[in-house]
Amino acid sequence: MASDTSGPAGATPDPEKFRRVPKVLLHDHLDGGLRPGTVIELAEATGYQALPTTDTAELGRWFRDAADSGSLESYLETFAHTCGVMQTEEALVRVAAECAEDLADDGVVYAEVRYAPELFVERGLSLETVVEAVQAGFAEGERRAAARGKVIRTGTLLCAMRQHARALEIADLAVRYRDAGVVGFDIAGPEDGFPPTRNLDAFEFLRTSNAHFTIHAGEAFGLASIWEAIQHCGAERLGHGVRIIDDIKIGDDGTPHLGRLAAYVRDRRIPLEICPSSNVQTGAAQSIGTHPIGLLHQLRFRVTVNTDNRLMSGCTMSSEFAALHAAFGYGLADFQWFTINAMKSAFLDFDRRLDVINNVIKPGYAAVL
């Protein structure tokens, strides 16, 4: 599948080439993508005093190391800091605007960025104010990027935290703001002990409202979580979903055999929002080179490539592409396939998805292929 035009296998990939081609991002957390310098400035502006350091380069390293440490406690501490500095309208506008700009600079042409509004109400903001501030920020970021000749379209997904009991309320919020840039819903947070079926009322409400949702499933926890997300909750996409690999057995002759759930996911073209670097950090995969994405791509599951948390993983869409190129020898034809997969799977109107595929992605790759 590696019809490569980005250099002979094993050659150092040119990250600039990956930055120039159009990319589509479906799984990126707003509170996991702040610029380290912005974290420091917002901490100063809002009186947040718990940062481990106020040196920009050091703070960037600290986030990556803490997320890398294998300790859940330090991983969660990273989000305590980012959420800690995002408790005002001004902070939310700034973070969202910079998110759109940073993604546009990386060559992302369409992005769905998610966040849990309930995490930003510590200082008294209402859920509605949080959503409106984030949408205003994305609109501003799109405008600033366009002024520099970089066109990006964004949508947001509202997450409910699995360990809280506000899913129905957040689902209602997502539906109320669906004409204002909110394109879907998700549940995030600890997977083990908090199965998606705890939130059945929210998913039923969304389905009967003809609204879209994805579910974090099959990252930290296995097939049962994926099965519940699809068959009980009705998820249209799977956040991560990498554990679907547990339902694929390799025969003695090397032939892969799909179990019933894996076959269902592939047959129905259920998109997998795969985040390679993040999966290595959380232990969902041992390394990029042994990541299940290799087999899932070979078997033509609806695989998409995503960043998850750009700050904690120190990654971008381009660096994820470069890492996959280095590990699997994927070339631009493969990256176009991932990108079209993602755009087909976006929670955006069909007409607009087609427009991006035909008028942005295909010409963008044609120019370099």
CB of 237 to Zn ion, least distance (A): 12
Q: Cα separation of 291 and 99, whole Å?
A: 27
CB of 17 to Zn ion, least distance (A): 27
Which residues are part of a known binding site?
Answer: 27, 29, 31, 189, 216, 308
Q: Cα separation of 269 and 44, whole Å?
A: 47
CB of 21 to Zn ion, least distance (A): 24
CB of 216 to Zn ion, least distance (A): 6
- Around 35, how many Cα atoms within 13 Å sit in the side-chain half-sphere? 15
Which residues are part of a known binding site for substrate?
Answer: 29, 31, 189
Determine the 3-state secondary structure of 150 from DSSP. Answer: coil
**Judged by CB, which is closer to Zn ion: 150, or 240?**
240
Q: Which of residues 130-159 bind Zn ion (CB under 5 A)?
A: none
Binding map of Zn ion across residues 297-326, x = CB under 5 A, - = no contact: -----------x------------------
Q: Which of 219, 236, 273, 320 is catalytic?
A: 219
Contact indicator for 338, 303 with CB cutoff of 8 Å: yes
Q: Residue 314 corresponds to which tokens in the numbers above?
A: 């120190």
User: How many positions of this chain bind Zn ion (CB under 5 A)?
Assistant: 1
Q: Cα separation of 128 and 179, whole Å?
A: 14
Tell me the β-bridge partners of 187.
160
**Strand (E) positions, the chain?**
23-29, 108-115, 153-161, 182-188, 214-217, 237-240, 248-250, 256-258, 272-274, 303-305
**Judged by CB, which is closer to Zn ion: 112, or 308?**
308
> Quick one: which of 182, 153, 154 has its CA closest to 170?
182
CB of 114 to Zn ion, least distance (A): 7
Q: Which residue is nearest to Zn ion (CB)?
A: 308
Q: Cα separation of 26 and 307, whole Å?
A: 9
228 is catalytic: no
**Judged by CB, which is closer to Zn ion: 26, or 42?**
26
Which residues are part of a known binding site for Zn(2+)?
Answer: 27, 29, 216, 308
Contacts to Zn ion by CB under 5 A: 308
Known catalytic residues are: 219
